[in-house]
Chains A and B, each alone.
Chain A
């Protein structure tokens, strides 16, 4: 479909855009090529966008990735399954816990392993905290890049509180490397759940503040509504998942369609929007923050004491007294560290719902302690590939907000 130089955006938008006849004159313009990034604060991560401009209109936009490529998949083939875990932190580094748990979940599926209930609860709580954190970052950045510094500060204040909780849980602010195949490497710190509840209270208040600042803000709404549009069909074709897909009206959430951990025991709603524009993607995130908070509250109510990792020395490290005191313990420890978990030969695709959508893992094991193949289906990759469709023919000024709302994370897109 040939696009007009100034696209028609349907009857509702037609009145906003002046008709050709109203313009005084057509200035002949030469097409200009512009590089956005790769090193620019607005290009989250390090991605380069080659934009061809016709005046203020984007004629062509070509995202170029590879500046953050680390060889994640190949690196994984050279280390044990457990040693892959730190690499997964660096995928979506804004919500590392979800990558950790997603990877572990896939490995456990490949082994055919059921993890203890408490571990499922903690994984759910951790994931949802990081989902809130991820969405807050996204919303804050949208505000910031449209000139609203206050929204950003509120979001980052809330995120910082959550980061503190994550630090208490995992020992790291960003690169969590939390969890192990078969459960978790450690239980919750004392009093952690209470402090999470308190934190959530504060986070909800701050989110409400952000909402009042943004959702009904005329400037914000004008910039967001009707920009960065993508149709539901296009979104599906590009392989969108997560909030970006749901913003187009498609009800797809891995937590509902294929419940894992404890999501089938929890009441929560999956927000759906209709228009597939930037504003809807923003609203999705605000709403998902609330739903995640709901999930955490319920999980904290339901969680029971118990083991956090399976008691099988082929999979989990023996407790330290056993390692230091018994030959069985020290040998199991040695074998697990030196050779890794002997995951049975086979292949699997498994996915979880990460902050940006379906985080899928295609794993192949040849029966040794190292993966034969690790492929990760990063949600951001598919979404980034749709950015050209979302901005071409639109104004340059809308590119940055659009780039924000799809929430591209360099780490997972480029692996």
Chain B
């Protein structure tokens, strides 16, 4: 009944009333509007109620029409609109029919008003969408085959949905600069650009570094950097993300992988302690890029370039196999061998003050929980020395000076487990003066430069190191256990603002690496203790109760969805030699295990 009423009202408002004085073409607009009926009170007080494609939508005043339409199930296409940028309304892709105007209006710019009837799929709207696309494509180069954006390009998407007609105009296309390097991160193809100005607006409004501008008029119009300047902002990579077409491209990622071959996993950037939410885009067991994942609380839709490039350590110089022996004596060993050696040697230091535990705040909460519990219960440690990456630059938007993703977590966990936090300098001091002789290291990142540490570390009698990447510490390790990064494992980080965030695994651990918690679990067993964990979830469930900051965290519920849409999502068939439907979710789960 109500739907029928709504429809009737919509039709009444959609048609221009003959002889209506206000908006009728040709009206002079001089005479005052005739006294209309008293304005009706809003249907839903505090909300604007309007009809979009026959469906009634109640939205808060100021809601964008595109967002409101999405809620009503109507997809309005757009290029220049971005929910976190100012409205430009220059792409004209979102033109819709509204009851208040005889002409089509841009949905992104038109405020919703009480009783407004919006139609997003009438003939006029479809004609306009098709015409807009035809204009946009008029000078677009035939580049899909060599364009990095192919597969995630809004031109392709909208063309297939709203246009799908052959080109009508022949003749030469306007040539512009094909590959202009704008800065260390970004390269511009002006021919592919549709001049939506999202990048310009992003740089001036969000990054607050207006390094990009629009130059020229008409068909010579183009996006460019100001003369003599460079797009060297730490946020320049975001312009690539928000570019709806293949005009702005990431120089680091360009020509490395095809978008449709990549799988994604929701994760957290480990470049600094902000903990920006990201997608890890990977193929096989290689990470190809980080992309920001929306989180209103942390990083909105953005991430910094430094974080964006921080994926590289996940691929490069990884410790693949366990090793025994120091320096030139180093040899590859089996996991069992290395574990037996480490356990035997560490046991000798049980409850002795000469044993130091070095924990890196790059490791996840679960890793730290398990490893520090092992250090406390099996080794009798009383203190933990804080390793991790050295301090770096900070900026005003997202990047923090602390380049470790989980310092907050380490502080909480050490506190919860009753371990005293000691600075790294104390460890060096202790090693130099001989009061410390053995080190059990969870993560091999060191906060100071190599030269000053090597001498001190060399003095240690025993170095048992669990490390993801090779470094000065792993070179001196007596027993080296390969650990996996956050991309290969699952767990959580606590960021600088004390927000705990879960991440999911992208692919199984590379080589013989295992999560830190798994090594702790093996060492527990090796020492004849019963504490053992089957998964990161298990670790959290068993140990987080001891840490009051973590105890209220719902580990399962806080996990981002493993895939954007629930259900089976087969990958493109056979294009890359994988069987159809193959997804990289690691080893398939077997019932009953």
Residue numbers of A with Cβ under 8 A of B are 75, 77-80, 83, 312-314, 318, 322, 324-332, 334-335, 338-339, 342, 370
Contacts and interface: CB of A to CB of B under 8 A. Distances in A.
Contact of A325 (B142, B143, B164, B574): B142
12 contacts: A83-B573, A313-B166, A324-B142, A327-B137, A327-B140, A327-B144, A328-B159, A328-B165, A328-B167, A330-B145, A331-B155, A342-B160
A329 B166 contact: yes
A338 B142 contact: no
A331 B156 contact: yes
A80 B166 contact: no
B73 interface: no
A334 B156 contact: yes
Contact of B581 (A78, A83, A326, A327): A78
Contact of B144 (A79, A314, A318, A331): A331
Contact of A327 (B142, B165, B260, B570): B142
B567 to A, nearest CB: 10
Contact of B573 (A78, A324, A331, A334): A78
B160 A79 contact: no
Contact of A370 (B165, B166, B570, B574): B570
A326 B260 contact: no
Nearest to A325: B142
B423 interface: no
B148 to A, nearest CB: 14
B573 A327 contact: no
B580 A331 contact: no
B186 to A, nearest CB: 23
B262 interface: no
Contacts of B12: none
B143 to A, nearest CB: 8
A334 B150 contact: yes
B142 A326 contact: yes
B572 interface: yes
Interface string B549-591: 0000000000000000000001011100000110000000000
A322 B160 contact: no
Contacts of B581: 78
Nearest to B141: A327
A217 B267 CA distance: 78
Contacts of B167: 322, 326-329
Given A314-B160, A330-B142, A335-B159, 5 more contacts: A78-B573, A78-B581, A313-B165, A318-B166, A331-B155
B353 interface: no
Given A312-B164, A327-B140, A330-B145, A79 B159 contact: no
B570 to A, nearest CB: 5
B151 interface: yes
Contacts of B137: 327-328
Contacts of A330: 142, 144-145
Contacts of A326: 142, 166-167
Interface string B226-255: 000000000000000000000000000000
Contacts of A77: 570
B377 interface: no
Interface string B129-159: 0000000010011111100001100011001
B153 to A, nearest CB: 8
Nearest to B140: A327
A328 B570 contact: no
B573 A80 contact: yes
B579 to A, nearest CB: 8
Nearest to B158: A331
B163 interface: yes
Contacts of A338: 151, 260, 572
A180 to B, nearest CB: 16
Contacts of B150: 334
B573 A79 contact: yes
**Would you list the 10 A-B pairs with minimal beta carbon distance, nearest first?**
A78-B580, A335-B160, A78-B581, A326-B167, A78-B570, A79-B573, A328-B167, A327-B140, A330-B144, A313-B164
A121 B159 CA distance: 33
Contacts of B145: 330
Nearest to B144: A330
Contacts of A314: 160, 164
Contacts of A313: 164-166
A324 B145 CA distance: 10
Contacts of B163: 328
A326 B139 CA distance: 10
A327 B145 CA distance: 10
A330 B192 CA distance: 14
Contacts of A80: 573
A79 B580 contact: yes
Contacts of B580: 75, 78-79
A82 to B, nearest CB: 11
Most buried by B among A80, A314, A330, A370: A330
Most buried by A among B260, B574, B581: B581
Contacts of B143: 327
Contacts of B144: 327, 330-331, 334
A370 B167 CA distance: 27
A326 B141 CA distance: 8
Nearest to A311: B166
A332 B573 contact: no
Contacts of A324: 142
Contacts of A312: 164
Nearest to A328: B167
A83 B581 CA distance: 13
Most buried by A among B141, B145, B159, B260: B159
A324 to B, nearest CB: 7
A338 B150 CA distance: 10
B494 to A, nearest CB: 39
Nearest to A339: B160
Contacts of B156: 331, 334-335
A325 to B, nearest CB: 7
B166 A328 contact: yes
Nearest to B151: A338
